Each structure stands twice: as structure tokens, then as C-alpha cells.
Amino acid sequence: MSAAPKISVYLITLNEGRYLEEVLSSVRGADEIVIVDSGSSDDTLSIAERHGARVIHQAWLGYAAQKAFALEQCSHDWVLNLDGDEVLPAGAIEQLRELAASNQADGYWLKRDDWWFGGKLPGAKRYKFCRFYRKSKAHWDVTQYVHEHIYIDGTTEQTDITIKHYGYDTVHGYMAKLNSYSELKARVRSERNRKVSLLRLLLIYPLMFLKFYLLRGMIFSGWRGFVKAHIDAFYFFLTEAKLYEQRYRSKK
């Protein structure tokens, strides 16, 4: 009988101390934990060391490039990527190990439940992410400055494993993050010569709000869903507005 596949877990961190204890406890059965830190000043590093993680210090390269760097530091072919606010359910590591041993696929998609502003969004659509895969079959698209994407050169399958994602506790924190994201997204679109349109600038906010609130089920998540749908729609408006601003300034 062949040995059970070994699993590396990798994370990129910057001041993730709030949830990191729970995150790392949830992957306790993994064979290796790799943390690439870009300058934490809270208790992130002490928590990581307490859990036996291998900590590597790397100045910030950007979301995708930082994750690509972290992936390369993993010792084992089967890897699991988590964020510093994502927790696996009990028994998930052994379930993933069994999937790896089955050789049925090169990557696996996990579901995610989002918790926002102190509570779960029970009616919102669940997103799926490819988080468990063979290192030898995976690569990050480092041209994406935000909303980074992993590509798997092989087959992928779904799992019933659901990640608990804590998200943001405050409207202020979430707005600040999306303001930063919109800068990066506008930069990507500008570099790709994305066309701008006044009509799009006018319509994108109401259309995206309806998409999030109605089509993605946030209407069933009470006040949290209502607020989050507005903020998510505003993120798309901000991105478009910043792109429009860049094009306007370039013509002056």
C-alpha cells in the first residue's frame, strides 16, 4: 500500500492575528504549514510559530505574486491555500488527504460561507474556490493585481467541504478594503485598454446592486445582506469611476 499523500498548507499574512489561531487549529493534521508574511506587527508570527508553521518573510509583491511565491515554498505536491480569516471544518484535512490519494483529479473546489458584520449571510449565494490542488499542476496569474486566480493544468472536481470565512466585522473596514481593491482593479483595466463609457458609469451601480441583492440572494440575509449588496455595488462603481478619471486626466 502506498503512503498517504502529504499536504502543505500555505497562507500569506499581514496582521492576521485576530483569526489565525482558529485558522491554524483547523489544519492541525496537515504535514506542513507555510506562512509568507509581509511585515506583521501584531501577534501573527507568534501564533504561527506556536503551531509549528514555517514562516518566511517577504516584502509585499501583490496578491497574486505573493501567493505564487508562497506556493513555491511548499515542500509537498498536494497543497491547500487559505486566507488568514478562513477556517476549515473538523475532519477536512483527512478528507482532503483521501481525495488526494484517490488520484481522481488534480484540483478540488471548496465551498465558502461568508460571515459579515458579525453574522452569517444565510441566504446569500455560496461561492466556490479551487483551494486544494497539485503544486506541479498549478500556477497563479500574476498579471491580476486583485481578485487573483489559480489555474490548474488538469482536471478538477467539487467537494462538499465548506470553509468558514469571517470577512469584515465593520462597514468601515470593508469599505476601506474595497477602496484599495478598486484602485488595483482600475489599474488592471487601464493596462488592458478597457473602454470607458458614461452610460456604464451611470448604470453600473444600480445594476450591480440588483444583481447582488436579488440574484445572489442577499435579500434573504436581512440588514447585513442589504448593506453588503450596496457596498459591493459601490465597489464596481468606484472601479469604473477611477478608470474614467484616469482616461479623463490622460486627455488633458
Kindly report, residue by residue over 41-100, the tens digit of the pLDDT: 999 999 999 999 999 999 999 999 999 999 999 999 999 999 999 999 999 999 999 999
What is the identity of the amino acid at 20?
Answer: L
Average of per-residue pLDDT across 97-108: 97
Of 71-75, 167-171, 236-240, give the lowest mean pLDDT range. 167-171
pLDDT of residue 2: 65
pLDDT of residue 234: 97
For the chain, give every domain's residue range.
7-165, 171-250
108-133 CB burial, b ≥16 within 10 A, e <16: bbbebbbbbbeeebeebeeeebbbbb
Q: 239: closest CA among 194, 252, 250?
A: 194
Q: Tell me the pLDDT tens digit for each residue of 175-227.
A: 999 999 999 888 888 888 878 888 999 999 999 999 999 999 999 999 999 99
pLDDT of residue 219: 94
Q: What is the DSSP string of the chain?
A: -PPPPPEEEEEEESS-HHHHHHHHHTTTT-SEEEEEES---SSHHHHHHHTT-EEEE-----HHHHHHHHHHT-SSSEEEE--TTEEPPTTHHHHHHHHHHHTS-SEEEEEEEEEETTEE-TTSPPEEEEEEEEGGGEEE-TT-SSS--EEESS-EEEEEEEEEE---SSHHHHHHHHHHHHHHHHHHHHHTT----HHHHHHHHHHHHHIIIIITSGGGGHHHHHHHHHHHHHHHHHHHHHHHHHHHHHT-
pLDDT of residue 161: 97
List, in order, residues 6 or more apart from 152 with CB less than 8 Å away: 106, 107, 130, 133, 134, 137, 138
pLDDT of residue 252: 61
Domain 7-165, CATH number (from 3.90.550.10, 3.30.930.10, 3.30.1490.20, 2.140.10.10): 3.90.550.10
Reply yes or no on whether the pLDDT at 126 is more than 60. yes
Q: Tell me the pLDDT tens digit for each residue of 127-156.
A: 899 999 999 999 999 887 778 899 999 999
pLDDT of residue 184: 87
Going by pLDDT thresholds of 50, 70 and 90, the confidence category of residue 248 is: confident
- How many whole angstroms separate alpha carbon 75 and alpha carbon 44? 22
Average of per-residue pLDDT across 103-127: 89
Average of per-residue pLDDT across 231-243: 95
pLDDT of residue 245: 87
